[in-house]
Amino acid sequence: MKADRKKLELAMARACMNSADLPAAAGLPRPTVQNVIVGKSVRPATLGKVARALGVDPEQILEKGE
């Protein structure tokens, strides 16, 4: 699964988070969160944790066609 970078950045802005805040909020290592941010394929659970930390449904940050 891949996150859409623009959607992810919008969700981060709404949650008043930056890329430094997100790993702690999601309970994930920084390199894993960086993989999500740059659009690399990650496990569904990883995308789910990031979405939960941002207060959105995973579908809201999912790349179209995934």
Among 55, 59, 28, CA closest to 36:
28
pLDDT tens digits, 1-57: 999 999 999 999 999 999 999 999 999 999 999 999 999 999 999 999 999 999 999
Query: Does residue 12 lie within any of the structural domains?
Result: yes
Query: Does residue 66 lie within any of the structural domains?
Result: no
Domains: count for the chain: 1
Give the Cα separation of 55 and 27 in Å (integer). 14
Q: What is the dihedral of CA 10, 15, 17, 23, to 10 degrees?
A: -100
What three-state secondary structure class fits 3? strand
Please give the model's pTM, rounded to 2 decimal places: 0.92
3-state helix, strand, coil in the chain (%, to 5): 60, 5, 40
CATH of the domain at 22: 1.10.260.40
Query: Does residue 20 lie within any of the structural domains?
Result: yes
Q: Is there a contact between 9 and 60 (Cβ–Cβ < 8 Å)? A: no
